[in-house]
Amino acid sequence: MPKLKLPAPPSNPLTSPKRPGKEYGPSGPLGHAEEAGVTAVDWIDERTSLSGGLRWGMFRKVPKGTNWFYTLGSSTMFAFLSQAVTGVFLAMYYDPSATRAYASIQYINNEVFLGEFVHGMHRWGSSVMVILIFLHMGRTFFFGAYKYPRELNWVIGVALLVMTMTMSFSGYLLPFDQRSYWATIVGVNINGTGPLVGPYLSEFLRAGPYFGATTLSRFYAIHMLMVPGAIAALMGFHLYLVAKLGTTAPPWVKAEAPEKLREDKVTVDQ
């Protein structure tokens, strides 16, 4: 009895097909390096599926007419990142105790390599960020970008604004020179005049009924842990919504259906 040939065993399902144009495998050191990179990215992606999210965020379309005003939001974020990085370097030398804070800042300014420069970037970066956040808010306001369906993004934005101002207020005390000390006392007193929560708020800020030794460390914790963490989280949510809903088109750009789909252009062959 003649035997039928056995079917070929299935090819190993775990080897992926060759990339197009690379039938003969990677060639040369450059090819191998490329292959290694692709393999590493594949390895991560197989376990996280991050590439889908990245593609979703990066290759979404921005509407027709998007202009330079739309860069104000990302510049605000960039200024925040600059504050975060310079802040980390300042925190390496800063000492949040009422007796040593001033000396530690003097040390940063006079002894540390590029210390005054980084300190200056942090100080003026705060002004830049405040200006940018107001400009960004103005842009979204005058473009009517807070309307349906982006209401929630506006509300989150206002929360970001309040927290940015809180950062400025709490950071102002940290150098612990005369200006910052007395301005903060007046500022805390002003908070204290508020109805209902005012007295509690100022007592929380001072860490007690009087401005004392623990006030500075409380401001420090607020300034470098509490508020920046909240800002980073809300910023992430803000950006998620931006990608999800898309950015608005400038209000004066009209939506026009593509030419061939317009009703009045359709002609019937006779």
Partner 1 sequence: MNKQEKEQYLRDYGTLKSQGKPFFPYAVAKDGAMAIVVMAVIIAMAIVLGAELGPKADPTSTTYTPRPEWYFFFLFELLKVIKPPALVPLATIGVPTICLILLFLLPFYDRGPERRPERRPIATTAGIFVVCAIGYLTYLGAAAGPPTEIDIPIPANISSQGPEAVTNFKAGSAVVAQSGCAACHQFGENGNSGPGPALTNIGARLPAQAIQRTLINPSAPMPSFSALSEESPEQFAQMVGFLAALK
DSSP letters spanning 181-196: HHHHHHHHHHHHTSST
Q: Per rule CB under 6 A, is residue 70 in the interface with ligand HEM?
A: yes
Taken in order 40, 42, 45, 47, the sign of the CA dihedral is negative
Q: How many residues bind partner 1 (CB under 8 A)?
A: 91
Which residues make Cβ contacts (< 8 Å) with residue 150, sequence separation at least 6?
A: 241, 245, 248
User: Are 161 and 167 in contact, with CB atoms under 8 Å apart?
Assistant: no
Say whether residue 127 binds ligand HEM (CB under 6 A).
no
**83 contributes a contact to ligand HEM by CB under 6 A:** no
Residues numbered 248 to 267 that lie near ligand HEM (CB under 6 A) are 248
Q: Interface with ligand HEM by CB under 6 A: which range of 38-46, 65-73, 115-123, 219-227? A: 65-73
Tell whether residue 238 is a contact of ligand HEM (CB under 6 A).
yes
* Partner in contact with 266, chosen from ligand HEM, partner 1, none, beta carbon below 5 to 8 Å by kind: none
Give the footprint of partner 1 on residues 102-141 (CB under 8 A). Answer: 102, 105-106, 109, 116-128, 130-132, 138, 141
Q: Which does 238 bind (CB under 5 to 8 A by kind): partner 1, ligand HEM, none?
A: ligand HEM
* Residue 41, token pair as written in the block: 């990215």
- Cα dihedral across residues 129, 133, 139, 145: positive or negative: positive
- Count the neighbouring beta carbons within 10 Å of the beta carbon of residue 119: 20
Nearer to ligand HEM, 136 or 218 (CB): 136
List 93, 146, 181, 204, residue binding ligand HEM (CB under 6 A): 146
Side-chain half-sphere of 198: how many Cα atoms within 13 Å?
9
Burial group, residue 176, by CB count within 10 angstroms (0-12, 13-18, 19+):
buried
- How far is it, in rounded angstroms, from Cα 105 to Cα 175? 6
Is 165 a binding residue for ligand HEM by CB under 6 A? The answer is no
Distance in Å, CB of 49 to partner 1, minimum: 19
| Residues across the chain | 270
206 forms part of the interface with ligand HEM (CB under 6 A): no
Candidate ranges 2-10, 14-22, 67-75, 257-265; the one touching ligand HEM (CB under 6 A): 67-75
Which one of ligand HEM, partner 1, none is in contact with 25 (Cβ closer than 5 to 8 A by kind)?
A: none
Could you give the 3-state DSSP secondary structure of residue 90?
helix
Binding site for ligand HEM (CB under 6 A): 70, 72-74, 76-77, 80, 133, 136-137, 140, 145-146, 150, 153-154, 157-158, 160-161, 164, 235, 238-239, 242, 247-248
